[in-house]
Amino acid sequence: MAIVCYWSRTEETRYNFGDALNPWLLKAMTGKEVIHYNDGDPFRKLFSPMLFCIGSILERNKRSQRLRLGRIHVWGTGTRGEKNLKHLRNARIHAVRGPLTRKRLMTDGVKCPEVYGDPAILLPRFIRKPEVKSFKVSVVPHYADVRHCNDWVLRNGLFNQVHVVNVLDEIEGVAEQIAGSEYIISSSLHGLIVADAYQVPNARIRFSDNISGGDFKFDDYFLSVNRKLRAPIDARQQVSLNFLCDRSDLGNICEIQKVDNVFPFSQI
């Protein structure tokens, strides 16, 4: 039986690396077909369990969630910090992305265990890291930042010093490029998460204001891995390769790697 999952798949987000991880990772974990909630038989939408997984999507589909009366499963999902998550009071929360999401849920009376972990942290179990590093510093732009990233590389004279990851590549290709780097600089949350997963020191950069959700989702994840909250690198400032390396650090992923222990295998 296929897994019914909801992830962001709008015209705007269909190129987003983090959102695209949902069907890929779930199929790798379970061997099952993964169907987006908006596809297929409408009957399935009402009566099949639905999984929320990677992304800041807990505010979505409020009407359909109420119809499901407890047949929604949340595993490692986050919010953007918006209010009114009362529609999730009947959902089964197995884990959330981080403590800020948990606080937001509990403020609205939603029971939520103190179990954290973005499921993307499990990627190294399915895509092995290269034996040899190919890049000193790689930059992972959010898909909405690609043009700004390229301009930044040229403006800072880094064209021959950094590798820019093509976030529109296949999942395996993006993961291997991140794992094959000594340092990662990223405006994409999942660029940072996957770097942590492969134990590649990393730092956040802000190229633009094009990414929805502001700092909330980054802080939510950073707190889940005991990373210090700090302002991102400002792409408007002149930087050197050494500066980028010095700003990079790692999250403590030991606890959130256990998020697979609470995956609802038998319930979806």
Q: What is the pLDDT of residues 74-109, one digit of tens each?
A: 999 999 987 789 889 889 999 999 999 999 999 999
pLDDT at site 213: 80
Q: Compare 195 and 211 and report the one with higher pLDDT.
A: 195
Per-residue pLDDT at 195 exceeds 60:
yes
The percentage of the chain sitting over the pLDDT mark of 90, rounded to a whole number, equals: 77
Q: What is the pLDDT of residues 149-190, one digit of tens each?
A: 999 999 999 999 999 999 989 999 999 999 999 999 999 999
Per-residue pLDDT at 11 exceeds 80:
no
Q: Compare 12 and 5 and report the one with higher pLDDT.
A: 5
> Taking all residues of the chain, what is their mean pLDDT, rounded to a whole number?
92
pLDDT at site 268: 85
The model carries a pTM of 0.95
pLDDT at site 64: 60
Confidence of residue 12 (pLDDT cuts 50, 70, 90): low
Per-residue pLDDT at 70 exceeds 90:
no
Length of the chain: 268
pLDDT at site 66: 47
Q: What is the pLDDT of residues 213-258, one digit of tens each?
A: 889 999 999 999 999 999 999 999 999 999 999 999 999 999 999 9
Specify whether the CB–CB gap between 225 and 196 falls below 8 A.
yes
pLDDT at site 184: 98
